[in-house]
Amino acid sequence: MYFCSCSASYCLISYMMDVTNGAVWLAIALVFIAATITKADPAPPPVVNCGSLIGLLHTLFTKGLRAMIFDQYTKLGSVFTISFVGVKLTFLIGPEVSAHFYQGLDSEVSRNMHEFTVPMIIGKDVGYDIDEHKRIFSGALKASKLSSQVAPMLQEVEDYSVKWAQQGTVDLRQELENLFILITGRCLIGKEVREKMFDEFFTLFHEMVDNGMHLTSVVFPYGPTPMNRRRDRARAKLFGILTEIVRSRRSSKQVESDVMQKLLDSKYKDGRPTTESDVAGMIIALLIAGKHTSSTSAMWTGACLLSHKSFLEAAVMEQKQIIRKYGDHIDHNALLEMDTLHCCIKDASPDASVISQERFGAAREEDKVGGKFSYTSFGGGRHACSGEAYAYVQIKVIWSHLIRNFELEMVSPFPQTDWSKVVPCLLYTSRPTGARWCLSLKGKYW
């Protein structure tokens, strides 16, 4: 009896333990399933509704894009979506949340607008939809291959600045744009364009870009509009020029030291060489991505230097040290030692109105202390700019030459940012003679 009673008690306890364990495991399973579902399908970010859209557009047109974004950030937080005429645009504000974009796979980041408009300019199978082109771009523009480009860049700057008199006033925007066109013609495309068809090529390039990047052409890239027809005619002629250069080099076994040659010599992973159309499209993509952004960065760098006396004095002192070490011979190694100028370029890129000489120096290094994606002027992660090193070299070559050879002064007020247009200017004085030259920034907005 006792035995049976013990056995019954044991069975009851065992049964209760099984039930308890089952409940625990069921709870764990439910928590895991809930966590998995939540992780797989998180709640979408808040969306600006139709009622708020009117106020948002009013802020955009009266105060600007930056004010509009900040206004929504204070109301909705660091992640929010604006839905307008069927297009949803999600904003990620700050390094913590922007990592989702910079580390996102191509399958996770929408490229619908890019895929819709860009092929009409650079070609259907170039850049945006060919992953290997990113590797080819990076290989052609990486820092270790830029040393051979410094001398031709500097030669273009020296030859161009010779036309400046002992003193006077120049339009900074126009002068820098001219310089970048000259450098681009020589270092990216090569001597065929630079020496034989420079004016024709860049007239066509501007016609293609000015018409192709207009709002109407971006929204309706396939419409039968006059702008689209002008874009297409210019693009066809540009591609004809570039493909003929590629064909000529390959048939004659001609080898140059420009970026086009590096693209021409590149191969895909399966061993196929790049085609004439590939190289032409990639050159057009580099011109669009690099020339406009680099010249704008160079302009803001000048505005920052000339409006902050201590920064300019430090940059001048740095150039004197470079001259003592390298003489008049400026090469890639000399450019790498221009830390002050490098910091100024870096500081001018995110917000030229807020600049500090020590912000990105060794003592503070805000770009590193602030987190992985706290500084994204050249993108980051999977979406980093392949031409960052090339851009720094161009800008350093230009401004180191100007600082060493001219006394510079900005005679116009510091320009305000205009999100729709870029219009500046500058004033200079030749250093060797001590004559008074000024760089004048014309126009209120850049």
Q: Which of the given ranges, 11-15, 243-247, 386-390, has the highest pLDDT on average?
A: 243-247
What is residue 67's predicted lDDT score, i.e. its pLDDT?
84
41/201: higher pLDDT: 201
Instruction: Specify the pLDDT at position 393.
Output: 93
Q: Tell me which of 47-61, 286-300, 363-377, 380-394 is least confident.
A: 363-377
Average pLDDT rounded to a whole number, residues 84-103? 80
Out of 2-11, 115-124, 161-170, 187-196, least confident range? 2-11
Q: What pLDDT sits at residue 332? A: 92
pTM of the entire structure? 0.74
- Note the pLDDT of residue 237: 93
Residues 419-432, mean pLDDT to the nearest whole number: 40
pLDDT of residue 57: 80
CB 179 within 8 A of CB 426: no
371: Cβ–Cβ under 8 A, 6 or more apart, which residues? 95, 96
| pLDDT score recorded for residue 122 | 63
Cα separation, 249 vs 235, whole angstroms = 21
In the numeric block, which tokens belong to residue 214?
A: 């207009």
Nearest CA among 141, 146, 98, 152 for reference residue 285 = 141
Could you give the CA distance from residue 283 to residue 280 in angstroms, rounded to a whole number?
5
With 60 as the cut, is the pLDDT of residue 352 above it?
no
Q: In terms of pLDDT, which residue wins out, 85 or 5?
A: 85
- pLDDT tens, 316-326? 999 999 999 99
The H or E element spanning position 84 is: strand 79-84
Name the DSSP class of 144: G
pLDDT band at 13 (very low <50, low <70, confident <90, very high): very low
Other C-beta atoms closer than 10 Å to the C-beta of 384 total 14
Q: How far are the Cα atoms of 102, 118, 126, 245, 379 from residue 136, in angstroms, in the given order?
A: 20, 19, 11, 19, 18
Residues 154 and 404: their CA atoms lie apart, in Å, by 13
What are the tens digits of pLDDT across the range 158-190? Answer: 999 888 877 788 888 888 888 888 888 888 888
Q: Is the dihedral of CA 285, 291, 294, 297 positive or negative?
A: negative
The residues near 189 (Cβ < 8 Å, ≥ 6 apart) are 201, 242, 245, 258, 259, 260, 283
Which of the pair, 337 or 383, is modelled with greater confidence? 337
Which H or E element spans position 97? helix 95-102
- Tokens matching residue 78: 């660091």
Given this model, what pLDDT does residue 397 score? 95
Q: Which structure tokens are listed for 299? A: 């302009």
Tell me the per-residue pLDDT of 136-160, one tens digit each, with 9 for 90 and over. Answer: 877 777 777 788 889 999 999 999 9
Residue 125's nearest CA partner among 293, 285, 290 is: 285
Residue 423: predicted pLDDT: 32
Cα(292)–Cα(181) distance, integer angstroms? 10
Identify the H or E element spanning 92: strand 87-92
Total H helices, total E strands in the chain: 21, 6
Contact 315, 129 (CB under 8 A): no
Greater model confidence, 446 or 416 = 416
Best mean pLDDT range from 65-69, 155-159, 297-301: 155-159
* DSSP summary character for residue 234: H
Residues 245/260, Cβ–Cβ less than 8 Å: yes
pLDDT average, residue stretch 415-444: 42
* Helix locations, 213-331, DSSP H: 215-219, 226-252, 259-265, 276-286, 292-307, 309-326
The amino acid present at 209, given as its one-letter code, is: V
Structure-token pair, residue 137: 């771009």
Q: Give the residue among 154, 245, 136 at the shortest CA–CA distance from 196.
A: 245
Tally of CA atoms within 13 A in the half-sphere of 18 that contains its CB: 6
pLDDT of residue 443: 37
- Give 146's Cβ-side CA count (13 Å radius): 24
CA distance 81 to 138: 32
Q: What is the DSSP string of 403-425?
A: HHHEEEEB-SPPPBP-TT-----
The predicted model gives 345-372 an average pLDDT of 65
**Partners of residue 445 on adjacent β-strands:** 416
Please give the Cα distance from 43 to 196 (Å, whole number).
59
The residue among 88 and 106 whose pLDDT is bigger is 88
How many other CB atoms are there within 10 angstroms of residue 168's CB atom? 16
pLDDT over 50 (residue 444): no
Tell me the pLDDT band of 249, cut-offs 50, 70 and 90.
very high
**CB-based contact 214:433 (threshold 8 Å):** no
Q: Which of these ranges, 12-26, 64-78, 138-152, 276-290, has the smallest mean pLDDT?
A: 12-26
Percent of the chain beyond pLDDT 70? 70
Query: What is the separation, in whole angstroms, between the first and last Cα of the chain?
Result: 99
